[in-house]
Structure 1
Amino acid sequence: MPTLDEALAEIHDEMADHIDRGRVADYIPQLGKVDPARFGIAVVTNDNGVFTIGDADETFSIQSISKVFTLTLALGEVGDSLWKRVGREPSGNAFNSIVQLEQEGGIPRNPFINAGAIVVSDILLAGHEPRETIGEILRFLRFLTEDDTIAIDEAVAASERATGFRNFALANYMKSFGNLRHPPEMALGVYFHHCAIAMSCRQLALAGRFLAHDGINPATGHSVIARQKARRINALMLTCGHYDGSGEFAFQVGIPGKSGVGGGILGIVPGQATLAVWSPGLNENGNSKLGTLALGKLAKMMNWSIFAP
């Protein structure tokens, strides 16, 4: 088996030769400006080793990867009552689909599709103004990474709001079913801003450490969330973390993962390591094209699939 440094170097060289790098998420104008040639990987092991290559220290819009952390906060605040308002099943539809909401009474299939994450944002709003809730999410990420430089890309947030007509429709539709307790524009304000958080691969991998360590941050020994809840988040990442491409990701890579249309993927190897990859070009399901290939190769080289003997 190669060392991590050797594996990352081989993967970096292989990905550099790819001509078809996917398509950037140009339906959000600010994301459409990102150079598709960017590529970085970071790995943080549970013994606190940090390994990086490529553009691993360049920040990018984490987009839907942020939903892992808002879900963590919401489970910490309201516990299993969250599941009365959000399901736990794969959607089988696009991340911004409205079809199932009508059939299922305004209850989103899972917390990682857009509708589900908007409900989670609504839950986090309880007793707070949107600005306070956004600040709480930022403080949580800064706490996990021990890095106070993490911030929101306001240009991306504004770009999302200006073009987020489908998300406005989802929020209003759920409000009509009584599954939003606050005005839709308030829940959407939180949602657009947490999706616009900018982080690097290194920061993302550090932020996810607790999910590879039964809810405990291995750098501090402090509990972030209960073990059972951490395992459930990992289960949802495996089954729902890549939208209607989740089954293919589980098949090809074999670890819990959460993607974002900014081109990032956060991967969890329980008991071993946290992985983060960034390549802005997306495949047909809205997941990083080269990021998926890279994580699949890394998991195979290091025997990290959760299905491995």
Structure 2
Amino acid sequence: MSSVAAQDHRTPAAPAPARPRRGPGRKQREWIAAGLFLAPDAIGLTLFVGVPMVLSIFLSFFQVSGFGSYEWIGLGNYERMIADPLFWDSMKVTGLYVVILVPVLFCVSLGLGLLVKQKLPGMGAYRTALFLPYVISLVVVGVLWKFLLDEQVGAVNRAMRAIGLEGESWLGDPTLALGCVIAVMVWVMMGYYMIIFLAGLQEIPKEYYEAARIDGAGPWTTFRTITWPLLRPTSFFVLLMSTVAAITGGLDLIFVLTNGGPANGTSLAIFYIYQQAFGFGEYGYASAMGSFLVLIMVVVSAVIFKLTRGGRFDDGE
């Protein structure tokens, strides 16, 4: 009885402490952080790129007048585009522009990246000077070069006459105008891609170059066996971005330098689309051509991505 009574009067056991709630796991926190960092850019791209692209595709099925009236015409704008010789002429000019600009810009930027990588006195000032044209408005660049290339008072022709050569009509000759536009665009863009190449070059471990020097490899062998293979991911990015920029960019530069002339020799597709939309009020037709140009960019990007194996450059493959 006493033992039973003792058990009856025993103090009840204290409840086990509740387990603290665990917060989100590490992987979940990383996803949340990534989403927060990407959200501003994603929202901006959606509002200012995605939504206008969708509206442009929708608008391409309408005949739009300058007074705001919309008339559904289905594929009428696309049929008109297929039968428009001026549009296809502008596509030919764009193709020639891209085929010349992209390789030249790639090689010049890579060469400058290799040059400014050298640790020489004052190299920081040279990097800044080469990058400076990229931060200048293309309108300002166009005005500057239009003055320099002027047939009568331009500094280029004056310099040529000073050494006994005849000046050229750089922006008035159909055989020279497109080349001048390409040269100016290379001058503008080379500093930006130079910086990208420089970043890629600085990521290559120095030990590789030291081993190559010990083995007696020359500059060309070192570039071919070390620099180029390890720089290919950066090269893929530069090739892709410069191609897209060449197809869609340069409108303001063309507008200031040549206004699409002479004889439509510099009328890129993007300039022709601009003319149809804001010059003639053909917003539906311009939207159809713009949608087609976006499709071309997607196809070209996919081809580049495929040829470079999705940016994966494994040695020996």
TM-score scaled by structure 2? 0.25
Greater share of strand: 1
Q: Higher Cα Rg: structure 1 or 2?
A: 2
Greater share of helix: 2
